[in-house]
């Protein structure tokens, strides 16, 4: 078996894979949701660093640009602004 991570002992990696295979679908979805939340928070922190003067609204829009692409984010924000 080839290892996935060069910095992880093969026995520990095998244990991790075994535990992931045994996890319920609900547990796997919760892990994925937590990973998604962490990625969004890290992206938002990076945007705050790059644009320290930006408002929270501007930062959320920049995050949407990153996650959705500028064209789709523009459509989403136009529709949400018309709904208000």
Distance from C-alpha of 31 to C-alpha of 41, rounded to nearest angstrom: 15
Confidence of residue 3 (pLDDT cuts 50, 70, 90): confident
User: Which residues, other chains included, contact 4 with Cβ-Cβ below 8 Å and sequence gap of 6+?
Assistant: 13
> In this predicted model, which residue has the larger pLDDT, 62 or 2?
62
Rounded Cα gap, residues 10 and 51, in angstroms: 42
pLDDT one-digit tens code per residue, 16-39: 999 999 999 999 999 999 999 999
């Amino acid at each position: 078996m080839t290892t996935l991570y060069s910095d992880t002992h093969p026995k520990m990696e095998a244990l991790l894979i075994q535990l992931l295979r045994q996890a319920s679908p609900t547990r796997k979805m919760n892990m994925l949701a937590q990973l998604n939340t962490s990625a969004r928070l890290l992206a938002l922190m990076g945007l705050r660093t790059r644009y320290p003067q930006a408002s929270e609204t501007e930062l959320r829009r920049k995050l949407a640009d990153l996650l959705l692409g500028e064209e789709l984010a523009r459509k989403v924000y136009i529709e949400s602004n018309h709904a208000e």
